[in-house]
Structure 1
Amino acid sequence: MKRFAFAALAAISFGLPVFTGPVFAGPQFVDQTGFAVSGYDVVAYRSLDQSAVGQPQAAAIPGRADITAEYNGAKFAFASEENRAKFLENPAYFVPQYDGHCAYGVSKGGKVPGNPNLWRIVDDRLYLNITKNVVGFWEEDIGGNINLAEGNWPGIEPKEASGRPIPNFTSSAPGN
């Protein structure tokens, strides 16, 4: 316990994000596809090459309507049975933070949808954002924005999931 407290104090001193555990449990964002993360495979993000800050990420991998699993009150789709099996071993590891809502939006105190193609993995956690412009703001201070989001999330989490559409996004995943 002392080590954790020391590590947290050190992280705060250097302006690094401090994580206490996975962030999920509220109403999952589910769009018109009927799937969490718009039907994209949350396990597949771990196999994609992550771009440098300021560069667009690789496109998310669509899941299949016939390979699914339920978690946190939502249906997740997967590109393969192997990915589904990995997910079922530890779903909290793979799901996006803030129940699939935009990480920058949460840092600003709101719940707006996350776009599955605007993603970044930070400290082994998947974060989504809503638009390319928002990604730019979020990437200006990723650690600071995560710290703000972590502080805001307990008050936002119990609210209903966003019902807004994702701007400038058309899903190629199941359900469309």
Structure 2
Amino acid sequence: MIIPCTRRPLFSTLVVSTLALTISLSACAPSTTESSQSASSQSASSQSAQPVSSTSSTADTAEPKVYTQEGIAIKGADPVAYFTESAFVEGSADYTHEWQGVTWQFASAENRDLFADDPEAYAPEYGGYCAWAVGQKALVAVDPAAWEIVDGKLYLNANQKVQTRWAKDIPGNIALADTHWPELSAQ
């Protein structure tokens, strides 16, 4: 027996909405054809950036989610160097610090010590996940070369294309991500 579907328009709307979100988030996938943006092309705001301790809305009893690959935070990038050198700098296995249950790498002992003294001042927002994607209610890997410091806080994005999209409305995108991060970080 075949029962006619009387809710087809609603189902179609949901499918189309889901497809649109999937297509939008597909732009977050790291591109192998794009070259990394040089530090000199980052915004003037990041040139003399001072870190600001993050005020996380995640409960103090649970460690927030941190983007890692093989237990290493943010693909091994040195989070302090974004502030001190205004550049994406690879960290080294020689200089590490454990924080929030993961290993953070640094280019120098000095950067490691700065981070250890105040990790929330240097750690990227949203656990190092793509800032634009968090605003879209998704956790997406990042390209550490796609970054921006805004009001003393480090934001990473999936790739340069997504970084450009995110930069078109930084305050709006941050507000969206701030709204969705508590739920996403608890997953």
Q: Return the TM-score normalized by structure 2.
A: 0.66
Matched-pair identity in %: 37
Once the two structures are TM-superposed, the CA of residue 66 in structure 1 deviates from its matched residue by 1.4
CA-CA distance at 1:87 after TM superposition: 0.6
CA distance, structure 2, for counterparts of residue 23 and residue 129 of structure 1: 21
Question: Which residue of structure 2 lines up, in the alignment, with residue 45 of structure 1?
Answer: 82
Deviation at 1:27, TM superposition (A): 2.2
Task: Give the CA RMSD over aligned residues.
Answer: 1.8
Flag as ranges the 4+ runs of structure 1 deviating above 6 A. Answer: none
Q: Indicate the residue corresponding to 2:119 in structure 1.
A: 91
Residue 44 to residue 152, structure 1, CA distance change in 2 (3 Å): same
| SS at structure 1 position matched to 2:69 | coil
Q: How many residues align?
A: 131
Q: For residue 82 of structure 1, give the secondary structure of its aligned residue in structure 2.
A: helix
Q: Normalising by structure 1, report the TM-score.
A: 0.70
**Bigger Rg, structure 1 or 2:** 2
* 3-state SS of 2:98 partner: strand
The structural deviation recorded for 1:115 is 1.5
**Equivalent residue, structure 2, for 1:142:** 170
Higher relative contact order (CA 8 A, sep 6+): 1
Give 2:55's aligned residue.
21
User: How far off its partner does 1:47 sit?
Assistant: 2.0
- Residue 101 (structure 1) aligned to one of 129, 132, 135: 129
Q: What is the alpha-carbon distance in structure 1 between the residues aligned to residue 100 and residue 179 of structure 2?
A: 21
Any stretches of 5+ residues in structure 1 without a counterpart? Answer: 1-18, 50-57, 160-176
Deviation at 1:20, TM superposition (A): 7.8
Unaligned 5+ segments in structure 2 are 1-52
Q: 1:20 to 1:43 in 2, by over 3 A?
A: closer
| Rounded Cα–Cα distance in structure 2 between residues aligned with 1:83 and 1:20 | 18
